[in-house]
Amino acid sequence: MTNQNDKAVIDILNIIQNINSNEDMSIIVDAIKEKRNQLHQTKAKQFKFEDKVYFIKGKKKINAMVLKVKQKFILVQTDNGEKWNVPALHLFTWY
């Protein structure tokens, strides 16, 4: 995060701490979920069939290849043949 983002996050957290109604909290939660969906969809568009990718499971790096790009999830096959349905934001490319 940049300093500007750090300040924005702190401001948002302070606002959340001062919320007094469940309705207002629900509006904020819905907005966060929608933004997360947008981020997943945008990231998913960056992948294509047979891209070499990896993701982290626990403390282990798992290498894989893209089999199918969906809206928010990417179906990958690991080096040992396992298939995983991974959220796009959890995948990284490697060459």
Q: Above 90 in pLDDT, residue 2? A: no
Instruction: Look at 71 and 4; give whichever has higher pLDDT.
Output: 71
Kindly report the number of other CB atoms within 10 A of residue 25's CB atom.
Answer: 12
pLDDT tens-place string over residues 4-53: 788 999 999 999 999 999 999 999 999 999 999 999 999 999 999 999 99
Mean pLDDT of 72-77: 96
Q: Which pair of structure tokens corresponds to residue 55? A: 């993701």
Q: Give the number of residues written for the chain.
A: 95
CB 87 within 8 A of CB 73: yes
